[in-house]
Amino acid sequence: MSEKIVITGGTGFVGTHLILELLEQSDAELFCLVRAKNTSAEQRLHQQLAQVIQGSDYAPELINQVKKRCHAIEADLQGDITSLATSIPNGVSQFWHCAASLNYEERFAAEIYDINVEGTRKALALARALNVDCLNYVSTAYVAGRNTGVILESPIAEVQSSNVYESSKVEAEQLIYAQQDMKYRIFRPSIVIGHSRTYHAINFSGMYGFLRRLIQFKGMMARVQRGYLERESIRMNVDPDVPINLVPVDKVAKLAVAIAHSDSNNTIFHLTNRTVPTVGEALEVLFSTVGLPPPKIVQDTTQYAWIDEKFNEKIEFYKSYLTGYKQFDRSASNAALGKHANTTRYAVTTNNLNKYCGWYCAQLAQTRSQVPVSR
């Protein structure tokens, strides 16, 4: 009899790749909790997975396994989901909780906490009702907040979060630590970017959000003072020599599934990258992608001109990821993965980072070209 697995967030960036990895690496039947929008839950799930298969390097035939083994159950984590236990067959072994709000602005705090914290509480209740063997939770490496130095694969105790998204994930993890009657694993990916070979992505937060702000600022300045940004470098107060941990989405999914299939007794795993650019290198690529000179790094914000102040206000959320040295310990992850831990396939360098950024800019340009001209 095939294994039965329940998944939340299966239409999201990490969730779609996780489903496809589970289909490739097992014969499991997958029961995915999906919100119905303009289409049925099953139609929405299958369409999203088909898009990811087409955009990534999965075998096209995998769509047949999606149709055969991927079952959508209409659900909303902001509602009561415990009653769904009667809609799911007995014998569920694994529960993957990937659903999350990636919003970060304070004005969305209530919604963020409702989805990320209360949604996790409800997922735990459903997992308990299903009597699952193990709950797998996709968190973030940035539960570390403003902590610097070596970040261990261990529960977060004292931390000063940089934003409401991070603090919501800390609280969600604490709900999971408190479980006495259920085995769990917590996966902590760093900054997730597109597929390692095709660069395809379906979520445009994180690095893509910064790039979008940069494009918008360039457009605004072109209307105010054309050519200024091409001549004068924007000043930024960041740490150019610290690594910025970018990790391809297919690596996150592949490693998470491999760890879940291992016999590791550890409970927290960093899904981070070994080979990454520095903040200075990454910024140079991002600015170059949109046709701007690299930023000028300054030691103090008193050195900002008015234009620098305006730009840095626009990207304030991202500043915490551009400052402060963090080294994510991977002892538990490496032990679980064994010989597969040291692959260089997923390295992010200045050369291929340029391709990730170029792919996104091409998608953005295509989207804008399809918008009718307003009169």
Are the C-beta atoms of 15 and 99 separated by less than 8 Å? yes
> Is residue 32 within a helix (H) or strand (E), and if so which, with residue range?
strand 29-34
pLDDT of residue 17: 98
Amino acid letter, 29: E
User: Is residue 276 exposed (0-12), middle (13-18) or buried (19+ Cβ within 10 Å)?
Assistant: buried
Tokens of 73: 């159950």
Per-residue pLDDT band for 181 (boundaries 50, 70, 90) equals confident
Question: Could you give the CA distance from residue 142 to residue 131 in angstroms, rounded to a whole number?
Answer: 30
For the stretch 331-349, pLDDT in tens is 999 999 997 777 788 999 9
pTM of the model: 0.95
Average pLDDT over residues 94-114: 91
Mean of per-residue pLDDT scores for the chain: 93
Does the structure show a pLDDT above 60 at 164?
yes
What pairs with residue 97 in β-bridges? 8, 137
Per-residue pLDDT band for 77 (boundaries 50, 70, 90) equals confident
Task: State what percent of residues in the chain have pLDDT above 90.
Answer: 83
pLDDT of residue 374: 36
Angle of the 13-25 helix axis to the 41-55 helix axis, nearest 10: 80
Q: Please list, in sequence order, all residues whose beta carbon lies within 8 angstroms of the beta carbon of residue 350, skipping any fewer than 6 positions away.
A: 277, 281, 282, 284, 285
Are the C-beta atoms of 152 and 270 separated by less than 8 Å? no
The residue length of the chain stands at 375
Report CA dihedral (215, 217, 222, 227) to the nearest 10 degrees. -80
Using DSSP's 3-state secondary structure scheme, residue 76 falls into coil
What pairs with residue 187 in β-bridges? 138, 269
For the stretch 185-200, pLDDT in tens is 999 999 999 999 999 9
Per-residue pLDDT band for 369 (boundaries 50, 70, 90) equals low
Question: Could you give the CA distance from residue 303 to residue 309 in angstroms, rounded to a whole number?
Answer: 10
Amino acid letter, 103: N
Q: Which domains occur in the chain, in start order?
A: 4-195+245-271 (3.40.50.720), 207-244+276-324+346-368 (no CATH)
Average pLDDT over residues 300-319: 95
Angle of the 164-177 helix axis to the 119-129 helix axis, nearest 10: 20
